[in-house]
Amino acid sequence: MTDIRPELSQCTLCADRFAATATAHRPNPVVWFQPGARLLIASQAPGLRVHEANTPFWDASGKRLRDWLGVDEATFYDRSRVAIIPMAFCFPGYDAKGSDLPPPPICAKTWRAGALDTVPDVRLTVLIGAYAMRYHLPEFTTVTRAVANWQNHPEGVFALPHPSWRNTGWLKKNPWFEEEVLPRLRAAVRNVLDD
């Protein structure tokens, strides 16, 4: 197995694309995985705070995600236990209105298979957001359906809405998520990490 992490951490494929965004930033791949991890967080793309800190989920959404998973910060950031592999490793930038741009597809096409091959011991995959769901769940239709259909996913796969504050309304409209999905997710996480 070839270790793609050194090359990935130096990737500049999207330099021109990022320079043309409202943020006009440079690529900064946030590489947070290593062999041996048993829990995979398959997310969308780093946000601006993550880009600046060079640490995934280093923001309010990360606090919410760790709560959903039932893990503390030290466990979450232990690369020997948790791999965080987004659909794009760099912050895609903002558009002129200040909205997040989508993960550039070239990133997943170039790096995703190699990144996933680096973590063959994964036993639990947590999909965060529509882009990760489209990649990992061929039957994906909507985020709500994917999250609600947790019992019918392949074994060891959970789909979650993005833990961003923007989804607070979704959480209020779907109380079953906290009542039904989160207890089972936390139990699965404990089982994988404590085994």
DSSP 3-state assignment of 57? coil
Predicted pLDDT at 81: 98
Predicted pLDDT at 143: 95
Contact present, 84 and 43 (Cβ < 8 Å):
yes
DSSP 66-135: HHHHT--HHHHT-TTTEEE--SSSS---B-TTSPBPPPPHHHIIIIIHHHHHT-TT--EEEEESHHHHHH
43 DSSP 8-state letter: -
Predicted pLDDT at 1: 65
Residue by residue, pLDDT tens for the chain (195 residues) are 689 999 999 999 999 999 999 999 999 999 999 999 999 999 999 999 999 999 999 999 999 999 999 999 999 999 999 999 999 999 999 988 888 899 999 999 999 999 999 999 999 999 999 999 999 998 889 999 999 999 999 999 999 999 998 899 999 999 999 999 999 999 999 999 997
Residue closest to 131 by CA, chosen among 105, 93, 169? 105
Predicted pLDDT at 44: 95
Predicted pLDDT at 139: 87
Predicted pLDDT at 147: 96
Which residue ranges form the domains of the chain, and what is each CATH number?
A: 5-194 (3.40.470.10)
pTM assigned to the model:
0.95
Predicted pLDDT at 2: 80
Predicted pLDDT at 138: 85
Predicted pLDDT at 95: 87
